[in-house]
Structure 1
Amino acid sequence: MSYFALVDDGHILLVDHRNARLWLPSGGHVELGESPRRTVVRELQEELGLIIDEAQVGPPRFLTCTTTVGLTAGHQDVSLWYLLRGDRHAPLSRFDAGEFESVRWFAFDEVPLTRSDPHMGRFLGKLRASID
């Protein structure tokens, strides 16, 4: 799994995922023969309508293993978390309404940790530490 966290000045873009019923960074499963960085590029376009070049995707910043919850609960996701710079003032042209209830920018301190990935608090702590 490749997550990509769009961040801008102490804010992170999260999606309200229909199946997981959690606020998560966008991302998706790595397809056979696809690199995790290529997954970021593909999913960014499919889920948020944003286009970037694979060269713009740096190394993963975080690695987690999580038991999934929600409608497709029970399997293990090993996730690489990538960091991308976003613009919270730019309108999103579209998002995958079949997969997400909504998409929203949150200040780091306002992320709903009780309804998010169980590793989100640690990830945000690492982001804060890297900004300071």
Structure 2
Amino acid sequence: MTVVAAALVRADGRILLQQRAPGRAMAGLWEFPGGKVEPGERPEAALVRELGEELGIRVDAADLAPATFASADNDRRHMLLLLYVCRRWRGTPEALDATAIDWVSPDDMRALAMPPADIPLIPILKALLPLSAA
């Protein structure tokens, strides 16, 4: 199963995370927004679609920069998580498909409960993203 996710990065270097809603697998955990790639769908198109559905924002595929990936077992299936960095979008992100959203630094992410596949992405994001002046 291929899954795409975005590290939406504000000018101050903080990254948007969303909290999984009750009644879902891994409810309450904080994650990068995104979702499954449908059959025949390009990963970038899937992420544009998912960000619209989950956050109500519009993103151009050209503004998605491939960053890294994670490989993990998820229930009885193997998951390949492709993470993109995005610094440009239209609209204000809202928690349309989650309990909450928050803007956090990579250092602050370490204190949050996150899905196992997301945790190894934190130090990579910290290394990729320049330190904020804020």
Q: Same-fold call, TM > 0.5?
A: yes
1:61 aligns with 67
What are the superposed Cα offsets for residues 37-83 of structure 1, whole Å, 9 maximum, x if unpaired? 1011101100000012222223x110111223xxxx44321011000
2:5 aligns with 3
Deviates more, 1:114-123 or 1:26-35: 114-123
Which of the residues 29, 32, 41 maps onto 2:36? 29
2:49 aligns with 42
The structure with the largest helix share of the pair is 1
Number of residue-to-residue matches in the alignment = 120
One-letter amino acid of the structure 2 residue matched with residue 6 of structure 1:
L
Tell me, in whole angstroms, the C-alpha distance in 2 between the residues paired with 1:84 and 1:39: 14
Whether the 8 Å CA contact 2:106–2:122 is kept in 1: the answer is no
TM-score between the two structures when normalised by the length of structure 2: 0.76
**Which aligned segments of 4 or more residues in structure 1 are displaced greater than 4 angstroms?**
none
Matched, 1:108 2:106: yes
Percentage identity across paired residues of the two chains:
30
Q: What runs of 5+ residues in structure 1 fail to find an aligned partner?
A: none
TM-score between the two structures when normalised by the length of structure 1: 0.77
Matched, 1:20 2:26: yes
Tell me, in whole angstroms, the C-alpha distance in 2 between the residues paired with 1:67 and 1:84: 26
Tell me, in whole angstroms, the C-alpha distance in 2 between the residues paired with 1:113 and 1:66: 21
Tell me, in whole angstroms, the C-alpha distance in 2 between the residues paired with 1:115 and 1:86: 27
Tell me, in whole angstroms, the C-alpha distance in 1 between the residues paired with 2:69 and 2:7: 13
Whether the 8 Å CA contact 1:113–1:120 is kept in 2: the answer is no
Query: What does 1:86-101 correspond to in 2, within 5 Å?
Result: 91-92=92-93, 94-97=94-97, 100-101=98-99
